[in-house]
Structure formats: C-alpha cells, structure tokens
Amino acid sequence: MKICFASHNQGKVQEIAALSPEGIEVVGLSDLSIHEDIEETGSTLEENSAIKARYVFDRYKMPVFADDSGLEVNALNGDPGVITARYAGPERDNQKNIELLLKNLEKFNDKTAQFRTVITLILDGKETQFEGIVVGEIQNELRGVNGFGYDPIFVPKGFDRTFAEMDPEEKNKLSHRAKAFQKLLSYLKELNG
C-alpha cells in the first residue's frame, strides 16, 4: 500500500519510512509533487494533524496520515506545545527556538518536558488518531549533531544523552513519533489481518 505522509519535512518522512514494514510504502508531499503549504490553523496538536490529513485526502483521495508534534515543557505550562516549530517566530529557526526556550526556562528548576506526537490517519474516509509521548528533561547546553529541532537539548528519561547525540536508528526506536507510528502500523496490520 502506498500511503502519503502529509509532510514537507524530509527528515520526518525518512524517519517514518525507515520504520515501515514491507508492503507499506511511505511517500512525502514532495515525492508526490505536492508543494502547497498546508496552513496549521488549529489550537491543538490533534486539530493540526487532522487539518493536514484532510487537506491531502480531500484533494488527492489517497490513504494519508499527518502528524503534529510539540515539545511540552512543564514549567512553561505546556509551552511551546502547538507552536513548537514557530516558538521564536514564523521563520521556524531551530536555533532561535532553542535560545528562547532556554531563556524562558532560566528561572525554573523544573526542566521536565515531553515530546508528544498526534497522528491522524484517513483511510477510506475514516479518521483515526494515534498518540506517542516520550518524557525527558531539557538540558541547558546543546549537545550532539544528529536530529533536528530541539533534539540537542532534550534527554529522554532513562538516558544521559540528548536525542541529537543518538544515532538516528536509536532515536527512532524511542521517539514520540515512532511510538505514535507504531500504533498506526499495528492498526493497519489489524485491518489487513
């Protein structure tokens, strides 16, 4: 089955494609020559993932899933949350986002946070959502060169390395996106069962 991952982020598409079992081919928006920017107007991760999936399904009538992910920091009442990628402004600058987050966290001792992903799948017009969470802590200094976004400052619980210090295969096994995607894959396997 060919299924569209409604994302222009090739890093995310490759991360998910690497986890896909035989028989499921994951393609991104760019692979299908879809270049429109899908505006994320929702106020929650759930709403934004559904908006992106519906956009592709309504126009291209193909199996599709979309995700929205956010870093939710406890001391900041769940911020940056739904605006994780645009935390420091609409230009989606990872470095500026990290700098602003660390600045806003300076006065807090609590550095606990979680990455959360919500995936919306639309198959034959039916919508289903899946959630993945990885809990961890924010570090004050950037460490590592792998990954993207906030990976250089996020250490998952039970580890002493940031996501950016892990090789992609290791990160993929425990990331929030991988957890949500595994739920999606289990669902697809049951349907084909």
Q: What angle do CA 64, 65, 68 make, to 5 degrees?
A: 150
> Judging by beta carbons within 10 Å of its beta carbon (0-12, 13-18, 19+), is residue 81 exposed, middle or buried?
middle
| CB-based contact 84:71 (threshold 8 Å) | yes
The DSSP output letter for 139 is -
Instruction: Give the architecture (CATH level 2) of 2-192.
Output: Alpha-Beta Complex (3.90)
Instruction: Return the structure tokens found at 154.
Output: 């996020």
d(CA 83, CA 129): 20
Query: What per-residue confidence (pLDDT) applies to 61?
Result: 92
Query: What per-residue confidence (pLDDT) applies to 192?
Result: 65
pTM for this model (two decimals): 0.88
pLDDT band at 126 (very low <50, low <70, confident <90, very high): very high
The C-alpha R_g of the chain, in whole angstroms, comes to: 17
- Which of 31, 67, 68, 93 is an active site residue? 68
Give residue for tokens 């987050």. 101
Task: Check whether 147 has a pLDDT greater than 70.
Answer: yes
| CB-based contact 51:59 (threshold 8 Å) | no
Q: Does residue 68 have an active-site annotation? A: yes
Residue spans per domain, the chain: 2-192
User: pLDDT tens digit string along 71-113?
Assistant: 999 999 999 999 999 999 999 899 999 999 999 999 999 999 9
Query: What per-residue confidence (pLDDT) applies to 65?
Result: 96
User: pLDDT tens digit string along 48-72?
Assistant: 999 999 999 999 999 999 999 999 9
